[in-house]
C-alpha cells in the first residue's frame, strides 16, 4: 500500500525538501496550505507536480481535523511555525499560538480522527505517526556543550519557550496516550531555499548582490554568535528515519561542527572574490534582546540508532548558497533589463 504523508509548513524550506524526499520514497504527499491565496503555494507546486494540497491553519482546530480526515495519513510532519526568532519578541502571543498551541491542536486532530492513541481503526495496530519540529533554540543559554537529548532546556526567546511547550506536549501525548509521537531537536539547517531573513542566506544574498553591484553594504548584528549549521536536505532524511523506528523516541540532529557568523561572512565573500571587511557594517539594532551565543550538537545517538550522517560541511554549504545567489541575482538583473527594454 502506498504510504500517505501530511506536511504542515509545506511552503517553507524544510517542507519542500521533505516532500521531495518522501515522494522519492514512493509516498503520496499532501501539504497543508493556509490563507485564501498563499503566494508560496504555486512555487512549491511548480517544484513537484505530484504534490497534493489541503487547506488548514495551525490556529484553527477544526481545519486540522478536516485535513487529517481528508488525507488519512500514515505520517504527519508538523513543520509549520513562525520560525524567525526575532519576530517572537514582537509578536509573542501569535508565535505561542502557532508554535506551541498549534502542536497541541495537531496532536488533538490526530486523536479526534483516529482514536485515543492515533490508531486508525478500533483494534488496528497501524497508528498515525507524528513528527514535531523541535529546535536547538530550546537549549538557549546552553547548560553544556555539545548538547544532546538529555541537556536541560534554557530557552532565550518566546520562540524557544513555545518550541519547548511543543516538545513536551509531544512527549506527554506519547506517554499519556501511547501515541507514536516524536520530536527531532534540529540544529540550524540552511540551503539556497532558506528565507532571506536568516543570517546565512542574508549573507550569501548580500555577498552576491554586492558583487553584482546591486547593493553596497551588508548590515549584520552579532558576528560572534556560534552555530552548528548543516544542509536542510540532510536533515529531512533524519525526520523520516525517526518515524520508521519500532519504538518512538526524540533525537538531536546536527553536524557537531561549530562556526561563527563571522566565518559564514568570510566564506561567502571569499567565494565571490570580495573582502568582507570592506562591506559589512555592524548594526546594533540587529543585536537580540537575549542572545543564544553557542550551539553545537552531539548527535551520536542519532547516528548510532538511525544510521544518519550529514553529507555537506559548512564551508561547502556557504559556497553552494553564495553560488546559487550569484545566479539568482544575475537572473533578476536580466529580467529587470528586459523589462526596461520593453521586451516583457
Ligand atoms: P520556514 O521556512 O519559516 O517555514 C515555516 C512554514 O510554516 C511555512 O510553510 C509557513 O507557511 C508555515 N506556517 C506559518 N504559520 C502557519 C500557520 N498558522 N498554519 C500553518 N502553517 C503555518 O521554516 P523551516 O526552516 O522550513 O523550518 C521548519 C520547522 O522546523 C519550523 O517549525 C521551524 O521552527 C523548525 N526548525 C527549523 C530549523 C532550521 O534551522 N531551519 C531548526 C530547528 C527547527 P506560510 O507560507 O503560510 O507562511
Ligand atoms: N537573522 C539574523 N540577521 N541573524 C543575525 C544577524 C542578522 O543580521 N546578525 C547576526 N545574527 C546572528 C543572530 O543573532 C543569531 O545568533 C545567529 O546569527 C543565527 O540567526 P538566524 O539565522 O536568524 O537563526 P537562529 O539561530 O536565530 O534560528 C534558526 O535556527 C533555530 C535552530 O537553532 C531558525 O531557523 C529557527 O527557526 C530554528 O529553530
What residues does each domain of the chain span?
4-191+227-253, 199-226+259-292+313-340
pLDDT of residue 344: 60
Could you state, in chain order, the average pLDDT of each consecutive group of 10 residues for the chain (344 residues)?
97 98 98 95 95 98 98 98 98 98 98 81 71 98 98 98 98 97 98 98 98 97 98 98 98 98 98 98 97 97 98 98 98 87 73
Beta carbons of 232 and 255 less than 8 angstroms apart: no
According to CATH, the topology of domain 4-191+227-253 is: Rossmann fold (3.40.50)
Beta carbons of 153 and 140 less than 8 angstroms apart: yes
Rg (alpha carbons) of the chain, rounded to whole number: 21
Considering only CA atoms, which residue is closest to atom 3 of ligand 1? 83
Beta carbons of 133 and 159 less than 8 angstroms apart: no
Considering only CA atoms, which residue is closest to atom 1 of ligand 1? 12
Q: Does residue 203 line the site of ligand 2, with CB under 6 A?
A: no
Beta carbons within 8 Å of 270's beta carbon, 6+ residues apart:
276
Considering only CA atoms, which residue is closest to atom 43 of ligand 1? 135
259-260 and 226-227: which strand pairing? antiparallel
Considering only CA atoms, which residue is closest to atom 14 of ligand 1? 81
Q: What is the number of other CB atoms lying within 10 angstroms of the CB of residue 246?
A: 5
pLDDT of residue 119: 76
Distance of CA 298 to the CA centre of its chain: 19
* Number of the ligand 1 atom closest to the C-alpha atom of 163: 34
* Number of the ligand 2 atom closest to the C-alpha atom of 137: 33
Cell of 95: 508565535
Give the Cα-Cα-Cα angle 332, 312, 42 (nearest 5 degrees). 40
**Does pTM top 0.95 for this prediction?**
yes
Q: Does residue 188 line the site of ligand 2, with CB under 6 A?
A: yes
Q: Does residue 59 line the site of ligand 1, with CB under 6 A?
A: yes
Element at 86 (helix H, strand E): none
Q: Partners of 106 in the beta sheet?
A: none
pLDDT of residue 62: 98
Domain 4-191+227-253 identical in fold to domain 199-226+259-292+313-340: no
Backbone angles phi, psi at 253, to 5 degrees: -125, 120
Distance of CA 143 to the CA centre of its chain: 24
Q: Does residue 141 line the site of ligand 1, with CB under 6 A?
A: no
Beta carbons of 243 and 288 less than 8 angstroms apart: no
Q: With helix as H, strand as E and coil as C, how does 286-336 read?
A: HCCCCCCCECCECCHHHHHHHCCCCCCCHHHHHHHHHHHHHHHHHHHHHHH
- Euclidean distance between CA atoms 74 and 51, whole angstroms: 16
According to CATH, the topology of domain 199-226+259-292+313-340 is: UDP-galactose 4-epimerase; domain 1 (3.90.25)
Active site residues: 135, 137, 159
Beta carbons within 8 Å of 217's beta carbon, 6+ residues apart:
210, 279, 280, 281
Amino acid at each position: 500500500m502506498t504510504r500517505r504523508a501530511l506536511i504542515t509548513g509545506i511552503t517553507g524550506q524544510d517542507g519542500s525538501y521533505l516532500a521531495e524526499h518522501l515522494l522519492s520514497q514512493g509516498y503520496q504527499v499532501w501539504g497543508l496550505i493556509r490563507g485564501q491565496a498563499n503566494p508560496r503555494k504555486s512555487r512549491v507546486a511548480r517544484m513537484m507536480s505530484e504534490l497534493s494540497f489541503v487547506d488548514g491553519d495551525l490556529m484553527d482546530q477544526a481545519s486540522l481535523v478536516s485535513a487529517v480526515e481528508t488525507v488519512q495519513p500514515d505520517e504527519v510532519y508538523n513543520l509549520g511555525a513562525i520560525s524567525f526568532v526575532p519576530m517572537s519578541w514582537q509578536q509573542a502571543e501569535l508565535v505561542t499560538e502557532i508554535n506551541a498551541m498549534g502542536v497541541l491542536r495537531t496532536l488533538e486532530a490526530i486523536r479526534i480522527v483516529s482514536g485515543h492513541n492515533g490508531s486508525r481503526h478500533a483494534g488496528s495496530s497501524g497508528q498515525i505517526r507524528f513528527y514535531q519540529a523541535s529546535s536547538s533554540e530550546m537549549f538557549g543559554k546552553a547548560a553544556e556543550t555539545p548538547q544532546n537529548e538529555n541537556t536541560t532546556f534554557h530557552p532565550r526567546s518566546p520562540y524557544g519557550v513555545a518550541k519547548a511547550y511543543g516538545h513536551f506536549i509531544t512527549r506527554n501525548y506519547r506517554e499519556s496516550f501511547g501515541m507514536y509521537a516524536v520530536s527531532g531537536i534540529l540544529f540550524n539547517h540552511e540551503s539556497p531555499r532558506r528565507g532571506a531573513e536568516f543570517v546565512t542566506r542574508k549573507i550569501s544574498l548580500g555577498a552576491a548582490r554586492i558583487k553584482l553591484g546591486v547593493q553596497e553594504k551588508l548590515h549584520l548584528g552579532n558576528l560572534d554568535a556560534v552555530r552548528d549549521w548543516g544542509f536542510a536536505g540532510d536533515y529531512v532524511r533524519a525526520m523520516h528515519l525517526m518515524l520508521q523506528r519500532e519504538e518512538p523516541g526524540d533525537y538531536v540532529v546536527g553536524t557537531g561542527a561549530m562556526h561563527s557568523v563571522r566565518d559564514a561572512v568570510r566564506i561567502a565573500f571569499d567565494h565571490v572574490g570580495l573582502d568582507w571587511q570592506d562591506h559589512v557594517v555592524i548594526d546594533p539594532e540587529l543585536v537580540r534582546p537575549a542572545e543564544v551565543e553557542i550551539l553545537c550538537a552531539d548527535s551520536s545517538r542519532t547516528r548510532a540508532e538511525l544510521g544518519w550522517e550529514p553529507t555537506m560541511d559548512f564551508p561547502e554549504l556557504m559556497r553552494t548558497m553564495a553560488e546559487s545567489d550569484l545566479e539568482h541575482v544575475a537572473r533578476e538583473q536580466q529580467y529587470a533589463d528586459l523589462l526596461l527594454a520593453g521586451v516583457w
